[in-house]
A and B are shown apart, each in its own frame.
Chain A
Amino acid sequence: MLASSVSPSLLFLLLLFLLLLPPPSHSADVMVTTDPVVQRVELQGAPLSHLVVDPGTGLLYVGGVDHLYQLTSDLEVMSHVRTGPQLDSPDCLPPIVLQDCPSATSTHNHNKLLLMEEGQGAEPGSLIVCGSLYQGICDKRSLTNISQLIYQTSNPVDTQYVAANDPRVSTVALVITTENKQEGAMSGGFMRLMLVGRGYTSRGPGDIPPITTRRLFPVVPPRRAFSQEEELGKLVVGSYSEYNNHFVKAIAYGNHAYFLFSRRDMWHKKEYRTYASRLCISDRSFYSYVEVPLLCRGGYNLAQAASLGNHSGEPALFVIMAAGQASTPVATGRSALCVYGMADLDAMLRRAQEVCYTEGGRGSSGTDEAYIEYAVSSKCLKLPKVNTQQVNTEYPCGGEHTPNPIASAVPLQATPTITSTTQLTAVTTAAEAGHTIAFLGDREGQLHKVTSCTRMYMYTRVHVHACTCTRVYMYMRVHVHVHACTCTRMYMYTHVHTECMNTCRRFLCRHVRDRQTVNHVLLSETRTVDGVFWREDVPVNIYVSATHSLTIGSGALNRPISV
C-alpha cells in the first residue's frame, strides 16, 4: 500500500501545516455573475423558505409567507395559493372567534412544513402543507394542482397542532411508512406517519413534545390526520421550556430517522450544542431514541443546515455550523462545514445505547458515557447480556424495558472542512462521477460549490482531513488560478498521495477547462440563502431559494456541476 510508506510524523506535519492554512475567505473575490443561463422567476412571499421537487414529475413546490406555488421544472408558475394573512393569535385555539380571542389580528402565515406524501397504489400522493397560523395545523393538497385540498384540518383537536405557531421557531418533518399490524387489512398492511420535530413556543398550547408522531394514513374516523395519538410515540420531556430544541433537519437513512437540532446542554455546562438523534423507523414507542452531541472543532456549535450526502464514497451528514454569540443561540458569521460519516454517527449512537442498556451508562473507565436526557425519571440499566452477546443486538430498537431517551455523553467530533466568516446558511450535496459536490449558500446570497476527491486514503478519519487538499482544492471559485496555487502546495507530497493527486489533477484540469463557467453565483439581491435544494436524479438543476424575491436558478449551473 502506498500509504504504508508515509511516516506518521510527516503526515502529522502535513496535517498541521494544512490546518494552519488560513481558511478561505471569499470577501475579496466575489464575482457577480449576470450569466444568461441563470433563469429567474420572481415570486411573492419572501422568505421562500421551503421548496420541494417531485422526482416523478419534476414539478416544484415552493412555500413562503402567505403564498404557496406550484412550478414546472422550467420555473413556470402552474398554480398559486394564498394561505394568509388570516385572523389569528398564537394565544387562541382555532377556530378563531373574535369575541373569545380579543388578541386576534390579521396574521401572516409562514410556511413551516412542505412535504410530499407519495401515493401508494390507488391512493394519490399529496403535498403536506403546515403553516404558522392556527397553532400550526396542516392540510393535504393535490400534487397535480395545489389549489385542490385533499384534507383540511377543520375544527382541529389539540392533538392536531403540528408546526410551531411562531415564525421564528423551527419545525422539521419526515414522512415514514411502517408496518401496520392493527389495521392491517384495511390499510394494506402499512401505515404512513409523519415524524415532526418542533421547537418550544411560549405562547399558545405549550407542552407539545419536541418530537412527535402524526398519523397520515390510514385515517378512518374517529381518527384524524396529523393527530398525535396516545399510542403513537413522542419524545417525552420533563421540562418543555428547558428542552427547547431548535430543529434543523429530519432525515431518513437506512432503517432510522435522524433529527439534527441544537439546544442548551442541560446535562453539562448549559452551553448551546448541536445534537444528532436517531429513532428506528419501525419503533412506534420511541424506545430506540438516542442522541449524540456533534462537535465541529473551532467553536462552531450551532447547526444551521444539513444535508445527507456521500463523502469519499461513504454516506455522510454535511452540517453547516455557526459559532454562537457568547452563550446565546444566536448564530454569528463565523461558520463552517463539518462532515460526519453516518457510520461513525451510528457507531456512536449504538455505543451509547449499549452502554446505557448493559453498563449503567458507564464506560469501561468508569466515566459516564450515556445517560437519560430530557428530565425523564429513568436511568441507565445493567441488563443481562444474553448469550454473551450485547443486548443491543437483541433489542436494536429498544424495548419496553430499555431505558430511554438515551443521550451519549461523548460527542462525535469533526474538523471543519471549510470555514467562512460570512455566515453559511444552506447546504446541499450530490455525488457526481465519484466526487461529492456540496453547494453552500450564505447569508449574503452567495452560492459556494465544494467538491471533494473521492478515492482518498481512508485509513483513518485523520486521513480525511490530511487530504485537506480537498478542502482547499475543492473550494473552487471562478478564479481557479488562485486555487492552482494551492494545488502547487499540494504538489509537495504528490508522491505520497499519488492516486489522490491524480484524481485531483484530473479534476483541476477539468475545472480549468470550464474556466468560463460560473461556479460562484451572487444572487441578485444579497440576502440569506435559506435553502439549497438538489435534484438528485437530474444533476443539471439546482434550485436556490433566497429570502427576498426568490431567485431560482435552473439549468444554469449544470455545466459547473457536471464535472
Chain B
Amino acid sequence: MSLLLALSLICGSMLHVSFSALNNHYCVPRKTVLYQNELKSFREEGIFNYSTMLMRDDLGVLLLGAREAIYALDIDNISVRKSVVYWRVTEEKQRECTYKGKHAEVECRNYIRTLHKMNDTTVYVCGTNAFSPTCDYLTFVNGQLRLEGKQEEGKGKCPFDPFQRYSSLMVGNDLYSATSINFLGSEPVVLRSSDLALRTEFKSSWLSEPNFVYMDFVRESLDSPDGDDDKVYLFFSENAMEYDFYSKVAVPRVARVCKGDMGGQRTLQRKWTSFLKARLDCSLPEPSLPPIVQDVFLLKHKDWRKSVFYAVFTPQSSLSQASAVCAYSASAIQDIFNEGKFKTPVAVETSHVKWVMYTGEVPVPRPGACINNVARKMGMNRSLDLPDKTLQFIRDRPLMDEAVRPLTGGPLLVKRGALLTRIVVDSVLALDGQRHAVMFIGTENGYIQKAVNYHGEMFIIEEIQLYENPVPISTLRISSNKSQLYAGSEYGVVQMPLSNCSRYDTCVDCILARDPYCAWDVTIEQCDSVYSSSSSSKAAIQSLKEGDISQCPQPDPVAAVDFTLVPGNNIQLPCQLHSNLAQVLWRFSDQTLHSNNKYYIYSGGLLILSASESDAGVYTCGSVEQINGRTYNRTVAVYHLQLYAGPEVRDSTTPSNEVIDSSDSNHSLNTTAPRPETTPGVEDPLSPENQSDTSRVTRLEVAVGLLSLLCLFLMGVIFFIWSQRRWGCFKLEQRSNESEAKRQSAEYMHIQNRTSEIKLLGPESRRACSANNNHSAVDFKGNGEHHFTPMANISSLDGLGYINDESEI
C-alpha cells in the first residue's frame, strides 16, 4: 500500500510543483501565531453574538452589544467588565414572534445591533427585539450603564432579522441606516431618521435585494472649491442590473448621498435626490463572477481626498476560493459620481430592460449632485429647489456607467483558504518617515491576517489565531491610540495588541518580518516597537520594502549541540524555522541533504534513518528565505553527531528502491499540525518491518506499472495546462474544514482522481506572494472586466454565461 501511496505522492508532487508557480500569487503569512491563552478576552456564560462595538476612548470603555446584553468593558483590558445592562425580550414578544414562524430561542431574542454615540453620556441603541426592532437610549454615568426605557420604533433603523447584514451611522443627531424595513426582509431602505426624514425609492433600480455592509461619512465640504457638501458613503452588494445574465448575479457597489439632501419638492418628495451608486471593481487574477464585498474600512486622512476605503471581497460562487482586499480612494469615488457617465434602462423587447450607457444630454444641475456652487448660481440653495428634469433623471438612473477602480489597479491582497470577513486598517509611521497602511483582516476561522502591500508586493506579516475554535470574526475595531485591536465573534470578544515585536528574537527575524510597527533596537538588542524606540531612532533598524538585513550585526555563531549516534537507530534532529516562507537547508560535511532513503526532512527537523557510523559529523540546519526576490540564508541549528560506543546493531538498510524511499515522504507530517485524516491502509512507515519488507515490491509491480502510466498521463495533462497558462482552469479545491494552522508548512491539495488529501513537502519555492503579481496583472489589469475564453471556461462556471455588454445606445 505504501508503494501505491508513494507513487501517487510522486505524481502529486509533480502536480504540485507545476501548481506552486501558479499559486504563489496567493499570499502565505510569513508567521503563524497559534492560539494563546493569555490574550485578553471577554465573554459571559449564556450570552452570545458579541457583534456590536462602540469605542469610547473618552470614557475609557468599549461598549459591547451582544444578545440581550450591553457591556461597558475597560478599553485597556476588556476582560474587566465595568458595567452591564440586560435588555431581554418580553415573554409576550417572544410568543408573538414564534407565532410568526420564528425560532423562539434563536430569532425571537433581542440582538443588540446598533450602538451610536449621541452625546458625552448617551448612546443610541437598537435591538432586533424578537423580530420587532426597537431603539432606546443608553446612558453611562458614574460607571453605570442604564437603559432609559424610551422604547422607540426601530423599523428601518435596525434589521428585524438578527443575522441580516446592515449598516448604520450617526452623523450629528441624524441616524443613517441601510436595512430592511419589513418583517420579511424584502423591502430595503436607506433611511435618514432626522427632523427631515429621507429614504430611498422602493424600486429595484435603486436597490435590488441588497446586502448592506458598511457606511461612513466623508467631510467633503472642507475646503471644497465647488462648494460641495459632505457625503455618506454606503457599501453593499445587490443583484446586478447591468449584466445580461440568465440567473441573478450579485455585484459590489458603493453608493452615496449628500448630507444636506432635503428631498425634492414635487418629484422625489422625502426621497434622496442625491442617491448615486457605482459598481466596485476588484478583479481577481482568475476569471470569476464579481466578488462580493464583505466589509469596508475607511482610513481617514486630514485631506479627505487622500482618505482610502479598504474593502474585503469574497467570491460569490463556491468555484473560487480567493478572497481579496481592494482599496479605493475617496477622490476616485467622488470623480465617478461627479463626472462619470450614467447608465440608462432601455427596453429591448416588449418587457426586457437592458442598462446601457446614457449618451444623451444630462440636465443641469447635474442629477444626483449635492447642492454646490453650480446649483447656487442658478438660485437653487436646497435640493427642494432642484428642477423636475434633474430629479426625474436621477430617480430613473441612479447607476453610474463606470465602475470604481481600485487605487493600485488591482487587489492589495489576494488570499486563498479561509474566507476573509472583516477589515480594519492602521496607518503606521515607519522609521523612514513614510506611512504604511497595515491591514488587520479577520477570517471565518478566527484568525487575524496582518498584511501590508509594499509597492504592489502583497505581504502577510503574520497570522494570529484569536479563537481556539474556528469561528468567524464578525466585528473588528481598532484603537490606534491604544494600539489595540478588538475582535468580536459569536462566542466572545478578544483584544489583541497591534504588534508584538518581541516575537522576533533576532535582528534578522525582526527585519525580515517587515512589520512597520517593529524595528531592531541596536542598543538594547531587541526587536522593539517603533513608537517606543523613537527616541533613539538612529540606533534602530528597519527595512520594510527591501527586507535588507545588512545593517544587522553579525549574529553569534550558533553553538553546536552534541547528539549521540547509535548505529541502526533513527535519529531526529529538531529544527524549527522562523518563517513560513523559508525553506530548510540541511547540510552534512558540506553536502546538502535531500530527502531520500537515508534522510527524511520535515518541517520540524531532520530524520536520519538507520544511522550508521558514517553518519557521524556536523549537521547544520539553515533557513533560506526569499524576500522580495532576495535570498537570505542563516543557520538555525548545528548538531554534532558522535558515535555511541555501544553494542553494534545489525544493519538493516533498505534496498535502494526509490519508490520505497519516497514513501518515506509520508512522514512529512507536520508534528505541530496533524493531518486531518489519514488514508486508510497506510501503515506507519516508521516501523522497521515496513522498511525491510522487500517482498512487496515484486507483488506490486503491476500496480506500480499502472500507476506509472497514470503518472505519465498526469504529467501530460500538467504540461498541456501549463502551456495554456490559464488560471481559471485550475481550481484546486481545498477542504472547507481546513484550518490555517495546518497549512503552516505546506499546502494541501486535492489531487483530482484521489480522495485523500496529501501533504507534500517538495522543493517548492515558498515565496510570499509577490512572484507572479506581474503576470496576473498583465492578464487582468486594464479593462478590469473578466472575459471568458469560450467553451471550456464557461462550462467550468456551471454553465453561467457572463456577458458584460457595454454597448451604447
Residues of chain A whose beta carbon lies under 8 Å from any beta carbon of chain B: 92-93, 100, 155-159, 202, 205-207, 230, 236, 238-242, 244, 264, 375-378, 381-384, 386, 394, 399-401, 403
Contacts and interface: CB of A to CB of B under 8 A. Distances in A.
A377 B395 CA distance: 21
A93 B267 contact: yes
Nearest to A229: B270
Given A157-B269, A207-B203, A386-B99, 10 more contacts: A157-B265, A205-B267, A206-B396, A207-B395, A207-B396, A241-B347, A377-B209, A381-B101, A394-B99, A399-B183
Interface string B374-403: 000000000000011100100110000000
Given A384-B98, A384-B101, A207 B392 contact: no
A381 B183 CA distance: 13
Given A93-B388, A157-B266, A401 B183 contact: yes
B347 A202 contact: yes
A376 B185 CA distance: 11
B268 A158 contact: yes
In this complex, the member of B201, B266, B353 whose beta carbon has the largest number of chain A beta carbons within 10 angstroms is B266
Nearest to B396: A206
Interface string B254-273: 00000000001111111000
Contacts of B269: 157-159
A206 B347 CA distance: 13
Contact of A158 (B182, B202, B266, B350): B266
B204 A155 contact: no
A100 B351 CA distance: 29
Nearest to A264: B351
Contact of B187 (A92, A93, A206, A236): A236
Contact of A376 (B102, B186, B389): B186
B184 interface: yes
B266 A155 contact: yes
B100 interface: yes
B186 A378 contact: yes
A219 B169 CA distance: 35
A400 B160 CA distance: 11
B396 A242 contact: no
Interface in B327-349: 347
Contacts of A155: 266
Closest 10 A/B residue pairs (Cβ): A401-B100, A400-B183, A383-B101, A242-B351, A378-B186, A93-B388, A158-B267, A401-B183, A377-B209, A377-B186
Contacts of A207: 201, 203, 395-396
B353 A241 contact: yes
A377 to B, nearest CB: 5
Contacts of A242: 351
Nearest to B98: A384
B595 to A, nearest CB: 56
B355 to A, nearest CB: 13
In this complex, the member of B102, B202, B350, B351 whose beta carbon has the largest number of chain A beta carbons within 10 angstroms is B351
B266 A93 contact: yes
Interface string B205-224: 00001000000000000000
14 contacts: A158-B269, A205-B267, A207-B201, A238-B204, A239-B204, A241-B350, A242-B351, A375-B204, A377-B209, A378-B186, A384-B98, A394-B99, A400-B100, A400-B183
Given A207-B201, A244-B351, A399 B186 contact: no
A384 B388 CA distance: 49
A403 B100 CA distance: 11
A132 to B, nearest CB: 19
Interface of B: 98-102, 131, 182-184, 186-187, 199, 201-204, 209, 264-270, 347, 350-351, 353, 387-389, 392, 395-396
Nearest to A358: B101
A403 B184 contact: yes
A545 B752 CA distance: 77
Contacts of A244: 351
A207 B201 CA distance: 10
A264 B351 CA distance: 10
A384 B396 CA distance: 41
A359 to B, nearest CB: 13
A369 B131 CA distance: 28
A264 B349 CA distance: 14
A155 B265 CA distance: 10
Contact of B353 (A92, A239, A264, A400): A239
A400 B204 CA distance: 21
Contacts of B392: 93, 205
A95 B268 CA distance: 16
B101 A382 contact: yes
A93 B184 CA distance: 34
A399 B209 contact: no
A240 B396 CA distance: 12
A241 B389 CA distance: 22
A115 to B, nearest CB: 25
B351 A241 contact: yes
B1 to A, nearest CB: 48
Contacts of B347: 202, 241
A85 to B, nearest CB: 22
A93 B265 CA distance: 12
B388 A401 contact: no
Contacts of A100: 387-389
A230 B388 contact: no
Contacts of A205: 267, 392, 395
Contacts of B268: 158
Given A156-B266, A205-B392, A400-B183, A236 B351 contact: no
A158 B270 CA distance: 11
Nearest to B268: A158
Contacts of A238: 204
In this complex, the member of A377, A383, A403 whose beta carbon has the largest number of chain B beta carbons within 10 angstroms is A377
A233 to B, nearest CB: 12
A378 to B, nearest CB: 5
Nearest to A394: B99
A279 B386 CA distance: 38
Contacts of A240: 203
A388 B183 CA distance: 24
B249 to A, nearest CB: 15
Nearest to A241: B351
Contact of B100 (A93, A158, A206, A383): A383
B369 to A, nearest CB: 19
A102 to B, nearest CB: 11
B351 A399 contact: no
B247 to A, nearest CB: 14
In this complex, the member of B101, B182, B199, B389 whose beta carbon has the largest number of chain A beta carbons within 10 angstroms is B101
A381 B387 CA distance: 45
Contacts of A92: 388
A400 B161 CA distance: 13
Contacts of B266: 93, 155-158
A49 to B, nearest CB: 26
Contacts of B395: 205, 207
A381 B99 CA distance: 13
A149 B393 CA distance: 34
A378 B184 contact: yes
Nearest to B266: A157
Nearest to B188: A377
A100 B389 CA distance: 8
Nearest to B203: A207
A372 to B, nearest CB: 9
A241 B266 CA distance: 24
